Structure 1
Amino acid sequence: MKVALSTDWIFERDHSIEMLDMLAELYREAPLYTLAFKENSLLGPVVERPIHSTFLSNKADSVSDIFKWTFSLPSLAKGLFIPCSTDVIINITHGLSHGIKKCEKTPLYSYVYDLFWLHQKPKGLKQKFFWSQMISFAIKEFKKAEKVWSANQIIHDELLKHGIISEVLEPFFKVEEFPLFPANVFKREVVLIQPDTLSNIELEQLLVSLEGEKVRLLGSAREGFDPAFFIGNPCAGELAPIFASAKVLIDFEQCLFPKNALAMLSCGGNVVCEDESKKVYLDSDGVKFLDRVQILNPSQKENLFWESDSKKLHAHANRFHGTRFKRKVEATVQHS
């Protein structure tokens, strides 16, 4: 069976690319079709195959660069053709790549990771003029898919408003890389912070409120702060022991899929999060949603710490194991 893969863009390794990696491992011979591909931007199964893209590969280095070409995106998608000899197309879309031209008889299975294009606001007269055409194109092309999967219920409901029926199939991450260690292996004594969206002033305020705690920060060192606080961006093998020795992860990461928060739960630790949009994935007893003012307030410090059943937290994270996703895709392709 000849399988083709497609996605909107390939610029850097992110969670959607990790999901595409699994498909690329499943279908080693499958060519990949995308609107824009930045060469040498990443390694792995995704790029170990023929990659077909548009001229945007020479014009765009980031998603924001693609956004500037709104007026031409539908025609570019139509101009990139997946041959009729293809038996099945598996697509991970951010809202547009499901519209890459194909033969009418070729079944398309589209996984909606997010609706990036539908949620952007056009800038300038040129974008505004072509915007409705692009959205109309995206909605129309969804209706041509044999099957549409939604990453969560919110996306499912939004598609349904446009008359598109989808099945919720939650994303996955490599849960197996974040095991629940025996209780006597690591002592939970660290307060781990993912400070991405915190300003330096806010970070300083949080560190003051956590005085007396053993604090570590994910990410690169910031000017004006003790570099010893920062642990960089470790790989999964290094992160698991860090999560296992933390009693809480305070998460200020801005992302669509809260991989680090789920990894923390998988290792049996609690998470404090301010972004309530993540509730769709973090509906667990091990997660508290507090606003930034509460988190930074020293008088609210006790709200950051509580006892949880580590086995239940791990079980929640295990809901996002890749096996379910893999089996669903394989079964669908085999019966197409």
Structure 2
Amino acid sequence: MKVALCIDSLLTRDDSIFLLEMALNLFPNSEIYTIAHKQGAILGTIETRPIVSSFLTHKAKNLDVFKKNFWIMPSAVKAMPMHKSIEKVIVFSRGYVHGLNFPIGLQSYLYIVDWNLVDQTHLGWQKVFAPYVNDWREKALTRYKKIAVSSEVLKGELELPNAEVIQPTFRTEEYPFVKDEDHNFLFSHHLIYSHDLSAENFRSIVKVLIAKGETVRVMGPNEHLNAVKKEFPQIDFAGDHCEATSAMYSHQAKAVWDFSRNFFPSKAFGGLCTGRPVVVPDNKINREYLTSGTYFLKNFEEQNINSLYTEIEGSFLTHDRRTLRRLGLKWNERLFKSRMVKFLDKNE
């Protein structure tokens, strides 16, 4: 059976790309359809497959430009040609690619990974087109008989009572666990991921931590934090690296701070996999997925950060590392694959 795997973009590696790779393991001879593709940006097995993209490929060379073209997304998606030999369509949608045109007789499966890839609250003149785009993508949902979503939160937001919830996964093997006999139990720093963390909010956190005499290490992009670097030169900026490098820093952290805006808290789960507690924003997605070993920060006011720091100081040594590891591995690759096999009506 000729299968098409569809995803919104192939411009940079993120958690949705890993989910696509998991599906590609199930259907290794698939063609891939995407709105925008930058050749060589993803690498791995995806780049070895035939990839069909829309006219936005020529404009959107990165994710920021892709999002700015939100207003012409319906035209780009509907114009994507699907080969007549395709018999089965599996869509990993972050809010747009599910609107593509395909013959009614095709087997079609929709997994809604995310609905808010584009933050519509920060649109400029493009917001004029928002009602049209949103109406188009909501109506496109009616073309699918089988729909799954990545969280109970998303299921409620989209009012899809019959949708199946299939929790995503992440590269758990990239977060090794240091056994007790090999660990010195010197938890020497706070590890902060800078992804989606504004300079103002980052400064609010490190100001408190450094005033308490803590060592602060930062992983992720940091060009936007240059002013804070000058103000606090003692901060260790390690750069933006892969998960395995992050794990080297996190297993000796008092706590791992992650404020990524994502459909699934993979970095926080990575911290738990290494046996360390995590700090995350107090929002619905994090409350759904994260339980023990998690500190929830309501806002970035100094009083709240101080209060949370006191809570961490009083408990970071009490967490059982193996228990945190098990929590981190809860949504593993094997579980995701088995649930997708069942959802896609595929026999292993």
Same amino acid, percent of matched pairs: 25
| Structure 2 partner of 1:248 | 255
Q: Match for 1:304 among 312, 329, 337?
A: 312
1:40-74: CA deviations, max 9, x gaps?
32211222211111111111123443344444322
Q: Which residue of the partner structure matches residue 276 of structure 1?
A: 283
Q: Which residue of 2 aligns with 1:91?
A: 91
Q: 2:187 aligns with which of 189, 195, 201?
A: 189
2:212 maps to which of 210, 213, 234: 210
Q: TM-score, normalised by structure 1?
A: 0.87
Query: Which residues in structure 2 correspond to 1:254-293 (within 5 Å)?
Result: 254-290=261-297, 291-293=299-301
Residue 174 of structure 2 aligns with an amino acid whose one-letter code is E
Moved more, 240-249 or 275-284: 275-284
Give the paired residue count: 331
Instruction: Trace 1:95-134 onto structure 2 (pairs within 5 A).
Output: 95-116=95-116, 120-121=120-121, 123-124=124-125, 127-128=127-128, 130-134=129-133
Equivalent residues of 1:219, 1:232 under 8 A apart: yes
Gaps of 5+ in 2: none
Distance in 1, Cα, partners of 2:73 & 2:241? 36
Q: What letter corresponds to residue 151 of structure 2 in structure 1?
A: N
**CA-atom RMSD, angstroms?**
2.7
1:295 Cα deviation after fit: 7.1
How big is the shift at 1:155? Answer: 0.6
Q: Would the aligned equivalents of 2:153 and 2:285 in 1 still touch at CA under 8 Å?
A: no
**Partners of 2:161 and 2:283 in 1: how far apart?**
26
Q: Give me the whole-angstrom Cα distance separating, in 1, the residues matched to 2:283 and 2:290.
A: 10
Tell me whether 1:146 sits opposite 2:145 in the alignment.
Answer: yes
> CA 1:64 to 1:234, structure 2 compared with 1: closer, same or farther past 3 Å?
closer
SS in 2 for 1:247: strand
Q: For 2:337, what is the secondary structure of its paired residue?
A: helix
TM-score, scaled relative to structure 2: 0.84
Opposite residue 256 of structure 1, the aligned amino acid is F
Deviation at 1:133, TM superposition (A): 2.7
CA distance, structure 1, for counterparts of residue 332 and residue 105 of structure 2: 33
Cα separation, partners in 2 of 1:220 and 1:103, compared to 1, 3 Å: closer
Q: After superposition, give the CA deviation of every residue in 1:135-185 in whole Å (9 maximum; x if it has no partner).
A: 22212221111311111111101222xx57311111101223324332232
Provide structure 1 residue ranges, at least 5 long, that are not aligned to the other structure.
Answer: none
SS in 2 for 1:268: coil
Letter in 2 for 1:218: M
Q: Letter of the 1:301 partner, please give it.
A: Y
Deviations along 1:227-254, one digit per CA (max 9) or x if unpaired, are 7712223333333232222221123334
Q: Is the alpha carbon distance of 1:287 and 1:28 closer, same or farther for their aligned partners in structure 2, counting shifts above 3 Å?
A: same
